[in-house]
Amino acid sequence: MKKLNGDNLKIALQRKGRLAEPSLQLLKSVGMDFDYHEGKLFAPCRSFPLDLLFLRDDDIPEYVQDGVTDLGIAGLNIVQERGAAVAQLDCLEFGSCSLSIAVPRKGPFKTVFDLEGKRIATSHAAILARFLDEKGVRAKIIPISGSVEIAPSLDVADAICDLVSTGSTLRMNDLEPIELVLKSEAVLIANPSSLKDPRKKQLIDRLRIRFQGNIRARKTKYVMMNAPESALAQIRQILPGMKSPTIVQLAEPGMIAVHAAVPEEFFWDVIEKLKQAGASDILVVPVEKMVV
């Protein structure tokens, strides 16, 4: 194995699993150039002083806390569960899921308060304990490390607290969610001492700007349209939250082209309103990177 370069920034990523592929994709999309094959534990980047370490997601918060790596990408659920002393920097907008309490369908439990004195199986015992405490519900927590959803059918537990994205695993096991405990997604975490080291901090900031440029771009479309000049005031009002749009005079008198970046969340609303305001030939293109 190649030796780690002590001067390089180090980032811990999930080796195998749901966050592995999107984490690698994010790094590649911001210009990190590295060789990767499954089973690899370590990969240096050629284009940036960064080394990648591939680990189990559960271990990432502790590695970052202990300074084995400066940065890590892990689910917010894992970061909170492990309670490690790390700085939470940015949400990365992938790996979305909910940690929810679920119960057998058509059973007697409708809310978390019905679980007083009951058994709840989970791989997120610390988060669940905090949640039950806040709600004032005393239930017995059964810590399980995997396949939590089968616990009720084995009569190991009356309910579960587990990660859900589409809910299909729950349905397959005849369970239904009754209470949201935590909304989670992948987050960038950092070792607090690394953030105090000026050289490392500068590298971390450069990486964060790149990540944010990528995340923002994913959420933005670039919209180009033609419109009568007289519609400009109204069009400008419709275009949400962005700086001044670009206006280009067209060869046809009285006609202009308007170009603007539009956040994905408002996208269809904006397009419909623009059409009503007189815009035509509306072109929409994806944004590759967006640095503001």
Q: Is residue 78 a contact point for ligand ATP (CB under 6 A)?
A: yes
In angstroms, how far apart are the furthest CA atoms of the chain?
Answer: 77
Q: List the single partner that 139 binds among Mg ion, ligand ATP, none, CB under 5 to 8 Å by kind.
A: none
| CA 31 centroid distance within chain | 20
Minimum distance, C-beta of residue 221 to ligand ATP, in the bound complex (Å): 26
User: How many other C-beta atoms lie within 10 A of the C-beta of residue 180?
Assistant: 12
Give the angle subtended at the CA of 165 by the CAs of 161 and 166, to the nearest 5°.
115
**Site size for ligand ATP, by CB under 6 A?**
16
The answer to whether residue 57 forms part of the interface with Mg ion (CB under 5 A) is yes
Rule CB under 6 A: say whether 163 interacts with ligand ATP: yes
Q: Which is nearer to ligand ATP, 144 or 227 (CB)?
A: 144
The residue range among 71-79, 104-112, 269-277, 284-292 that interacts with ligand ATP, by the rule CB under 6 A, is 71-79
H helix runs in the chain, sequence order: 20-29, 60-65, 76-82, 125-135, 168-172, 192-196, 198-218, 232-238, 267-276
Q: Does 75 bind ligand ATP (CB under 6 A)?
A: yes
> Of Mg ion, ligand ATP, none, which one does residue 81 interact with (CB within 5 to 8 Å by kind)?
none
Q: Is 83 in the site for ligand ATP (CB under 6 A)?
A: no
Separation of first and last alpha carbons in the chain? 40
Give the binding range for ligand ATP (CB under 6 A) out of 2-10, 51-59, 148-156, 259-267.
51-59
Per-residue x/- track, 21-40, ligand ATP (CB under 6 A): --------------------
Where on the chain is the footprint of Mg ion (CB under 5 A)?
Answer: 57-58
